[in-house]
Amino acid sequence: MKRGKKNSAAGDPLTSSDTRTGYSELNVMMKPSLSSIKSMGLLLAVLMVASVMFSLSVVLRDPPSDDDVVETESASSVLQIRLHQDDGLSEKKEQLGDVNLVPSFDKGSCLSRYEASLYRKESPFKQSSYLDNRLHRYEDLHTRCGPFTRSYNLTLDKLKSGDQSDGEVSACRYVIWLNSNGELGNRMLGLASAFLYALLTNRVLLVELGLDMADLFCEPFPNTSWFLPLEFRLNSLFKEQSLLLNSGNPMVAYRHVVRDSRDQQKLFFCEESQVLLEETPWLILKADSFFLPSLFSVSPFKQELQKLFPEKETAFHFLSRYLFHPTNVVWGLITRYYRAYLARADQIIGIDIGVSESGNDQFQHLIDQILACGTRHKLLPEVEKQRHLPSSQVLNRKSKAVFISSSSPGYFESIRDVYWENPTVMGEIISVHKPSHKDYQKTPRNMESKRAWAEIYLLSCSDVLVVTSSWSSLVEVAHGLGGLKPWVLNKAENGTAHEPYCVRAR
C-alpha cells in the first residue's frame, strides 16, 4: 500500500514535492541571469548606439543620382522625367540616348537635342572614340576662330584690305558653304559633306544663312555660331564669275563641287588641288550635292577617314546626327504628329513614294508592288479579302503604323483603303498616315522647308523603310539619320513588277 502510494505520488506532476523541485531548479537557472544584468544592459546600450549611428548614416548620405532614379521608374515615368527634368547641365556633361550634351548648350533653345532619343531609335552603330575626340577638337577650334572672335576679325580685315604682308596673322582658316536654297535634302547632304571637309582640313565651317536655315536647324557647336555673319557681305565682296576666273588673290579661293563627270570639278578631289588650297585662308564652297563619298578617294584624307569611320558607310549617319537638330518650331511639328499618330504603334513602317501619279495601270501596279514587297518580307500584314474575321477571333493585336511620304495623295488613299476595307489575316491593327498633301504653291517657302524637314525626321523614326528609289535626297537623309537600311522597289518591266519585288539597299 505504501509503495503503491509512493509510486502514485511520484507519477503525479502536480504533487508538492515536484513543485518544490521545479522551483528550486528555476532558482538555480535564474541566478546566472540575475548576476549578468549589468552585462546585458551594456550590450543593449551598444546596440542602441549602433542603431542610431546607422539611421544617421542613411539620412545624411548622398541622395541617389538621376540615373538611379531613372532605372527604377516605369517606362512612362522615364518619359515624363526626361521631358520635364531640370536643366542640370551647368554642372557636368550628361549622356541622353546617343547625343553628347555639354554644359554650354541651353536646353530650352533646342529641345530636340535633348529629346531625340524619346522618338528615334538608338543608333545601331558605335561611334569611334577617335571621332568623338576630333569633334571636340573641332568645337574648340570653332570657339577660337568663329564669328567675331579676334582671329576671325583679323583674318577678315586682311581679306578686305587685300593685305598680303607677313604681319600679324591668325592660324584660322575657313570654308564658307554657299546656301543654294534648293531642295532641302540636297542642301543637307551638301552641308554634311562640307563639314567633313572642314574637319579633315582643320578649317572652320561657316554657313550662309539663306532664306530659312536659321529656322530649320539649331546651332550645332557650343559657345559660338556656325552662320556666316550678315556683316560679311559675300555678294558685294565677290562675284562668282570673278572667283571662277581666280583673281590672283591668295587670300581666297572658290570651288563649285558637284558629283558629276566634268573634269574641272573632279580636280577638287586631286591631291595637287588640295595642296594648293592649304595656304588659302578663305575657301568659298558651292555644293548642294552629296560629295562626301568622293573625299574617301583623296589620298591625304584616307588614313584619317579610316580612323574616323572604321565603317565608312556610317559617315553621314554620325555627321547628320551631330549637325542637324530641328529648331523648336520644327520639333513641335515632329512631336505633335508622332504622339498623335505613331507613338502607340508597336512598329512604324515608313514608305517613301518618290513618283507622281501617271495613268491608272501604272498607279495600280506600283500600289500592288509596294504591298507585295511589304507582305513578302513581313513588313506589312496580309489582308483577308474573302471573309471578315469577327473580333472575337482576332489572333494578333499587334499594331502597326504606316507613315507615307509622297507628293501624290492617291497612293496614301489606296493603301489606307486596303487596310480599312479588309481585315488582316492575323488580326493586326493597321493605321495609315500621311502628314500633308504638299500643296506648296499655297505654302510660304519658310513653312515648306519646315514641313519637309519634319517629314524627313519622321521617316527617320521608322523601324523599317520602303522606298521607290534610293536616289531621292529626302530618302538618303532619312535613312542616314535613322541608321536604316531601306527596302528598294525593283523597277517594273512593261509596267508589271515580278519577284523579287524589292531588295535591301547596299
Structure confidence at residue 47 (pLDDT): 61
Strand, helix or coil at 284?
strand
Between the CA of residue 213 and those of 217, 250, 264, 286, what are the distances in Å? 6, 30, 29, 16
Between the CA of residue 370 and those of 92, 379, 427, 500, what are the distances in Å? 48, 10, 20, 12
CA angle 230, 236, 237 (to 5 degrees): 90
Nearest to 457 by CA among 331, 339, 336, 346: 331
Rg over alpha carbons for the chain, rounded to the nearest Å, is 36
Structure confidence at residue 425 (pLDDT): 87
Q: Are strands 502-504 and 487-489 parallel, antiparallel or unpaired?
A: antiparallel
Domain ranges (residues) in the chain: 2-60, 82-118, 129-323, 337-504
Q: Among 238-242, 246-250, 347-351, 439-443, which range has the highest average pLDDT?
A: 347-351
| Integer Cα distance of 465 and 220 in angstroms | 27
> Helices then strands (H, E): number in the chain?
22, 12
Give the count of beta carbons closer than 10 Å to the beta carbon of residue 265: 17
**82 — pLDDT class (breaks 50, 70, 90):** very low
Of 377 and 73, the structure prediction assigns the larger pLDDT to: 377
| Integer Cα distance of 464 and 67 in angstroms | 30
Nearest to 156 by CA among 282, 283, 285, 284: 282
Beta bridge partners of 503: 488
Sequence-ordered list of residues with C-beta below 8 angstroms from that of 410, at least 6 positions apart, any chain: 357, 363
Sequence-ordered list of residues with C-beta below 8 angstroms from that of 140, at least 6 positions apart, any chain: none
Q: What is the dihedral of CA 316, 319, 322, 323, to 10 degrees?
A: -90
Mean pLDDT of 239-259: 65
Q: Say which amino acid occupies 314.
A: T
Of 347 and 37, the structure prediction assigns the larger pLDDT to: 347
Query: Are the CB atoms for 114 and 85 separated by under 8 Å?
Result: no
* C-alpha cell read off for 191: 552641308
Structure confidence at residue 432 (pLDDT): 97
Nearest to 102 by CA among 91, 111, 110: 91
Mean pLDDT of 412-419: 95
Q: What is the pTM of this model?
A: 0.76
Structure confidence at residue 40 (pLDDT): 58
- Residue 258 in this model has a pLDDT that exceeds 60: yes
Structure confidence at residue 414 (pLDDT): 95
First to last CA, the chain: 114
Structure confidence at residue 248 (pLDDT): 59
**60 — pLDDT class (breaks 50, 70, 90):** very low
- Residue 233 in this model has a pLDDT that exceeds 80: no
Structure confidence at residue 392 (pLDDT): 55
Lowest mean pLDDT across 22-26, 306-310, 338-342, 401-405: 22-26
Q: In terms of DSSP H, where are the helices of 461-489?
A: 473-482
Lowest mean pLDDT across 84-98, 136-150, 253-267: 84-98
Mean pLDDT of 285-291: 88
- Length reported for the chain: 506
| Integer Cα distance of 474 and 230 in angstroms | 29
Match 495601270 to its residue by C-alpha cell. 361
462-494: burial string, b at 16+ Cβ within 10 Å, e else:
bbbbbbbebebbbbbbbbbbbbbebbbbeeeee
Q: Say which amino acid occupies 47.
A: L
Q: In terms of DSSP H, where are the helices of 182-297?
A: 184-201, 213-216, 234-237, 240-244, 263-266, 271-277, 292-295
Of 92 and 265, the structure prediction assigns the larger pLDDT to: 265
Structure confidence at residue 403 (pLDDT): 97
- Residue 488 in this model has a pLDDT that exceeds 50: yes
Beta strands in 275-428 (DSSP E): 282-286, 347-353, 399-406
pLDDT, one tens digit per residue, over 139-169 is 999 999 999 999 999 988 888 776 666 556 6
- Residue 472 in this model has a pLDDT that exceeds 80: yes
Strand, helix or coil at 172?
coil
175 membership: H or E segment, kind and range: strand 174-178
- Residue 16 in this model has a pLDDT that exceeds 90: no
Query: Are the CB atoms for 198 and 319 separated by under 8 Å?
Result: no
CA angle 147, 179, 406 (to 5 degrees): 135
Of 391 and 109, the structure prediction assigns the larger pLDDT to: 109
- Report percent pLDDT > 70 for the chain: 67
CA atoms within 13 A on the CB side of 252: 25
Of 228 and 43, the structure prediction assigns the larger pLDDT to: 228
- Residue 27 in this model has a pLDDT that exceeds 70: no
**245 — pLDDT class (breaks 50, 70, 90):** very low
| Integer Cα distance of 262 and 245 in angstroms | 17
What CATH number does domain 337-504 carry, 3.30.420, 1.10.3470, 3.40.50, 3.90.1310?
A: 3.40.50
Strand, helix or coil at 169?
coil
Between the CA of residue 454 and those of 275, 315, 450, 459, what are the distances in Å? 40, 22, 6, 9
